[in-house]
Amino acid sequence: MNLLKSVKVGNNTLKNSMVMAPMTRSRASINGVVGDATITYYTQRASAGLIISEAINISVQATGSPLTPGIYTAEQISAWKKVTEAVHEKGGVIYAQLWHTGRVGHSLVKNGELPVAPSAVAIEGQQHFTMEGMKDYETPRALSTEEVINIVQDYKQAALNAIEAGFDGVELHAALGYLPNQFLAESANQRTDQYGGSNENRNRFVVEVMNEIVNVIGTDKVGIRLSPTCLYNSIVHQNPVEQFTLLINELNKLPLSYIHFMNIPFPAEHFPHYPVDSVETFGKLTHHPIIANFAYNRETGEAELEKGIAKLISYGALFLANPDLPKRFELNAELNTPDKSTMYGGQEQGYIDYPFLN
């Protein structure tokens, strides 16, 4: 079974081709510090070939949702070090996903500060969770050019902090409508400086961040997550095939661990210019290993690997509910069902109490 075969990614030889996808769990303290339950959560799932952590805020400004972890204070770094040490003791490999939410936040979560974004364009048709309940999105504050340059350096420092915390590498979260994805999309980026106005300029922020991270932590320790067909958080691309082809050509110049594609479905009748299959369209353009993601199961994940483009498949909710997912796939055993009501926030229930196989 291809899913259970060892594969080399970056500097690590993984025990199988199954990746635990990054999933926001909102179990950190109000100060963004993870605790003992998070240590248990990740060590329970150390049989994954690769664990990609939940999204981790790179700075105070980056934070968009309550009770999400950070990696910008000594206390946060120390807490993550306990997680990575425990995962390594179980023979696991773990990357940190670096996160800046941009306009996907609310001033109620940000000590009264407005969210920031490439341009002052609000998310429409959605609401954001705050400790005071669901709220309409606010119009974000547009970043100055100098601020954009500073955020690139924030990513650089966060990558250094992740390595200090013992992570084997980092993944830039450039998908699902968060800040890097906002720079990529015309619907969120109306800038006229070097970070907007053309495909090359809209790609610039992501390219600069990736270059800085690779330069500071080294070869084969950096991945990136992309979602070329994502419509969530008011993200729309005018010409995604052209733009992401240019972006991948730039990423091909870097010694990356992998590219992680979210193959998100979309209404084709409204977006006929979107690629039907992001993994197939863009995966063929790179020499980097491809991780494919989005609602795969045992059979469809195996079928995706058999196509020969993706080398790994990432699983989100299935790993959330099945800490021993590789063993269950090996035995074709019954799977636990994820409890959606406990996915975001709470204590141990729905977090570290999912049963293993007997």
The catalytic site residues sit at: 178
Q: Where are the alpha helices (DSSP H) in 140-257?
A: 145-164, 179-184, 199-217, 240-251
Its sign, for the CA torsion 321, 326, 328, 329, is positive
CB atoms within 10 A of CB 219: 12
Contact criterion met (CB below 8 Å) for 135 and 108: yes
The pair phi, psi for residue 294, each rounded to 5°, is 140, 100
> DSSP 3-state assignment of 113?
coil
Tokens of 327: 């063993």
- For 44, 65, 91, 256, 303, the CA distances from 172, given in Å and listed in that order, are 24, 18, 24, 11, 27
Nearest-10 crossing angle of helices 240-251, 199-217? 30
> DSSP 3-state assignment of 139?
coil
> DSSP 3-state assignment of 252?
coil
Q: Where are the beta strands (DSSP E) in the chain?
A: 7-9, 12-14, 18-20, 50-57, 94-99, 116-117, 127-130, 133-136, 141-142, 169-174, 222-226, 258-262, 290-293, 312-315
Report which of 265, 310, 276 is spatially closest to residue 291, judged by C-alpha positions.
310
Tokens of 196: 């907007």
**Cα–Cα distance measured from residue 318 to residue 312, given in angstroms and rounded to the nearest whole number:** 15
Nearest-10 crossing angle of helices 36-44, 74-89? 30
Which amino acid belongs to residue 28? A
Report which of 109, 249, 95, 287 is spatially closest to residue 173, judged by C-alpha positions.
95
